[in-house]
Amino acid sequence: MSLSSSKYREIMRQYEITRDQNRIQMEERREQVYKELPEFQELDAAVSAYCSRRLRLLLGDSPEAAAALENPIPKVILRKKALLRSAGYPEDYLEPIYDCPDCKDTGYVTLESGIQEKCHCLRAQEQAYLYEQSNLKGISESDRFSNLSYAYCQGEDLEHLRGAVRISEDFVETFGEGKNLLFYGTVGTGKSFLSGCIANSLLEKGFSVIYFSAVSLFESLARYSFDGNAKESLYNFCKELYNYDLVIVDDLGTEVLSSFVTSQLFTLLNEREMRRKSTIISTNLNLSELRDRYSDRVFSRVSKNFQLCKLSGPDVRMCQKLNGIRS
């Protein structure tokens, strides 16, 4: 899942509007120049007359006569530039106007091979939209692998963190293969941070990501499920939930447990597995607590289909606060 077709059409429509606006601006500039520099309009008319005459000769099977016509265009170009300079305009004042010169406001560039690919400006709009839709308020844009610090870990805790980072980076590099991750361990050891690193990296690559705390996810599902007038909203919510490229469920175990929660969690895991979509779960529960809290079939899905990443050690956030106080 990337952009919806409706959102894509909306973006392409905006490109069309931009082209129209720039075309109008260019015509206004041309009228302004014609008014100030009548010779400029005469030069344009001369070029137009030459092109029309040459075309008539070619269509009339007179290629020799067409070739014999003196081409005024090179001299006209030089004269027009001189006129613009003399009136205080830049030489390219009447060149086509583009917000993005690379794609000429079409959203696509043509490679040397002839293949068209999305321009950087279109990719930027896609990324901005995907981030807006990702619900990543619980994750900072500064959650990046490059900002990772190992300063508060040592020994076995450090090995756990390094292993989790390697797995996370590989998850990003090979994304699209339906892999899943479970980050588990004590509070403040980097589980949410690594989820954020993955989310931000994949958003930059144009994948769709959505983030939920476990509490907000199951509250949303309950609100739609138990409202008889919200069947369509429930359908649309679940459709997106099951089809996002990546779903992140943070702090599993903090929600109020019920049979409804257990059932919805299993459905989420099962539906996304069938669609070969990736899921990341973070929890402060250990594996035994995870098994005891949820049903055997939920734990079986997780243990079978998720790569398990244990994180341990001190609460990094608390360490940072204490260091800040000391300094």
Q: Of 100, 124, 144, which residue is a domain's last?
A: 100
Residues 181 and 249 in one domain: yes
Residues 85 and 184 in one domain: no
Half-sphere exposure of 79 (CA within 13 A, CB side): 15
pLDDT per residue as tens digits for the range 246-263: 999 999 999 999 999 999
Rounded CA-CA distance 226/214 in Å is 18
Q: Is the residue at 113 inside a domain?
A: no
Q: Is the residue at 9 inside a domain?
A: yes
Q: Given the structure tokens 């892999």, which residue do they identify?
A: 179
Residues 96 and 156 in one domain: no
pLDDT per residue as tens digits for the range 3-34: 667 788 899 999 999 999 999 999 999 999 99
**pLDDT at site 138:** 54
Q: Give the domain range for residue 53.
A: 5-100
Nearest alpha-carbon partner for 168 in 157, 182, 155, 147: 182
Q: Of 100, 121, 151, which residue is a domain's last?
A: 100
Q: Is the residue at 110 inside a domain?
A: no
Rounded to the nearest integer, the mean pLDDT of the chain is: 88
Q: b/e per residue, 70-108, with b = 16+ CB within 10 A?
A: eeeeeebeeebeebbeeeebeeebbeebeebeebbbbbe
Count the domains in the chain. Answer: 2
Q: Of 76, 100, 124, which residue is a domain's last?
A: 100
**pLDDT at site 27:** 95
- Burial label for 110, CB within 10 Å (0-12, 13-18, 19+), is exposed
- Average pLDDT of the residues in 53-57: 89
The CA distances from residue 253 to 184, 203, 227, 270, in Å, are 11, 26, 25, 19
User: Which residues lie closer than 8 Å to 56 by C-beta, 6 or more apart?
Assistant: none
**pLDDT at site 142:** 73
**pLDDT at site 308:** 95
- Average pLDDT of the residues in 210-235: 88
Q: Is the residue at 118 inside a domain?
A: no
Cα radius of gyration rounded to whole Å, the chain:
30
Residues 183 and 299 in one domain: yes
Residues 176 and 240 in one domain: yes
Nearest alpha-carbon partner for 315 in 190, 195, 197: 190
Q: Kindly report the CATH number assigned to the domain that includes residue 298.
A: 3.40.50.300
Q: Is the residue at 120 inside a domain?
A: no
Q: Are 311 and 160 in contact (CB under 8 A)?
A: yes
Residues 89 and 153 in one domain: no
Residues 168 and 261 in one domain: yes
pLDDT per residue as tens digits for the range 106-150: 999 998 888 998 898 987 787 777 777 666 655 666 788 888 888
